[in-house]
Amino acid sequence: MRELLLVAVAAAPLFGWGGEGHRLVARIADAQLTPAAKAQVAAILGPANTLMSIASWADDVRRDRKETGPWHYIDIQITVKHLDMARDCPKGDCVITKIADFRKALADPSTPPEARREALMFLVHFIGDMHQPLHCSDNKDKGGNDVKVVFFGQPSNLHSVWDTLLIGRMKPEQELFVELSAESQKHAKKWAKGTVEDWAEQSHKESQKVVYGRLPKSAATPVPLDSTYERSADPLIKTQIAKAGARLARVLNEALTTSGSPLPPSISPGTPSFASPSHRY
C-alpha cells in the first residue's frame, strides 16, 4: 500500500490513468511489439526515449497546448446504451477521432519526423486514456471531476480516484507489471479485436456498471468511498490496463509494419475506420 501518496495526489490536477497507469500500459504494449515495430519505435523516438518515458507526454503539454484538452476523452452519457459519434463527438475532436488521425500520421513514412514522433506519443497516451472508464463516460459531472468524495479519509473527486488513488493503493508498479503483462499476453488475441469505437463502448458500459453503479447510495456530500468500493473497482482497473496494453500493441504493430491486418471498418456511419487525426479537465 502507498497511502502516503494520497494527500499530495488528491490535491493535484489529474488526467488519464496518471503516470503509473500510463507507464504500465506502455510497458505491457512494448512487450507485445514485433521486432520490426520495436525498431521503428526506437528510430522515431530516438535513443534517449522509450514508450514508457513518453507515456504521459500528452498530459505534460496540455496546459501549453490547450486545444489538445478535449482529445483525451469522449463524453458518452451514462444514461445512454451506445456511442453515437454525431452526438458524442460532433466537432471531431474527441479521443476516438484523434486516435485515428494520429494512427494515420504514424503509419505514413512521409509524415515529417517531428509530426510522426508526436503522433506516436499521442497514440500511446490516448489509447491508455480511453480505457479509464471516466474518459468514455459522463454524468453531467465533467467525467466525475464534479463528484466530491472522501477516499479512505482523504477529500478528492471521483475522477482522481480512478486516475491514480486506487492504483496508488495496489502493489508496487513492477509487481503490477508482471501480473498484468502476463494477463494481457494471455488474452491479447481476443482483447485486441474490434474497433476503437467498440473499445470505447466497453469502457462506457464498465463505467455505468462499476464506476457509477457501485457508488454508495448515500445523500451525504462528499460521497464516502472505502474498501467495499475498492474491491469492485480494482479488478476492473487491472483488466482495463491489461486490455489497453494489448490494444496499443496491436495499433502500433499495424501502423509500423506492413504485414498486420488493418482495423475493421468503424461501427459509426460516416466515421473513418480506426477513427481519423478529445474533458478530462
Question: CATH code at 49?
Answer: 1.10.575.10
Annotation marks residue 279 as catalytic: no
Where are the extended beta strands (E) located within 94-253?
148-151, 154-157, 223-225
| Active-site choice (17, 57, 71, 191) | 17
Give the model's confidence band at 221: pLDDT under 50 very low, under 70 low, under 90 confident, else very high: confident
**What 3-state class would DSSP assign to 94?**
coil
Strands 148-151 and 154-157 come out as: antiparallel
pLDDT digits (tens, 9 = 90+) for 47-91: 999 999 999 999 999 999 999 999 999 999 999 999 999 999 999
- Percent of the chain residues topping a pLDDT of 70: 85
Active site residue 60: no
Please say whether the beta carbons of 12 and 20 come within 8 A.
no
Element (H, E) at 59: helix 57-60
64 counts as catalytic? no
Out of 75, 88, 129, 138, the active site residue is 129
Q: Catalytic: 138?
A: no
Cα–Cα distance measured from residue 166 to residue 162, given in angstroms and rounded to the nearest whole number:
6
Q: Scanning the structure block, which residue is given the C-alpha cell 509524415?
A: 111
Domain count along the chain: 1
Of 159, 204, 250, 280, catalytic: 159
Which residues constitute the domain of residue 104?
A: 16-141+171-209+232-256
The residue from 23, 62, 117, 247 that is catalytic is 62
The yes-or-no answer on residue 101 being catalytic is no
CA 14 to chain centre: 13
Domain assignment present for residue 269? The answer is no
pLDDT band at 161 (very low <50, low <70, confident <90, very high): very high
Confirm whether 109 is domain-assigned: yes
60 assigned to some structural domain? yes
E strand residue ranges, the chain = 148-151, 154-157, 223-225
pLDDT digits (tens, 9 = 90+) for 114-150: 999 999 999 999 999 999 999 999 999 999 999 999 9
Residue 88 annotated among the catalytic residues of the structure? no
Decide if 191 is catalytic. no
Rounded Cα distance between 231 and 281, Å, is 27
Q: Name the residue among 153, 158, 155, 114 with its Cα closest to residue 139.
A: 158
Which residues make beta-bridge pairs with 157? 148
CA proximity to 54, closest of 128, 105, 111, 106: 128
Query: Is residue 169's pLDDT more than 80?
Result: yes
Residue 159 within any structural domain of the chain? no
Q: How many CB atoms lie within 10 A of CB 137?
A: 26
Does 148 fall in a domain? Answer: no
Does the annotation mark 199 as catalytic? no
The cell for 152 is 479512505
Q: Which residue among 23, 27, 103, 135 is the active-site one?
A: 135
Q: Which residue has the higher pLDDT, 281 or 261?
A: 281
CB atoms within 10 A of CB 266: 20
Catalytic option among 27, 72, 116, 247: 72
Lowest mean pLDDT among 15-19, 185-189, 260-264: 260-264
- Whether 141 sits among the annotated catalytic residues: the reply is no
**274 within domain boundaries:** no
Catalytic residue among 125, 131, 247, 250: 125
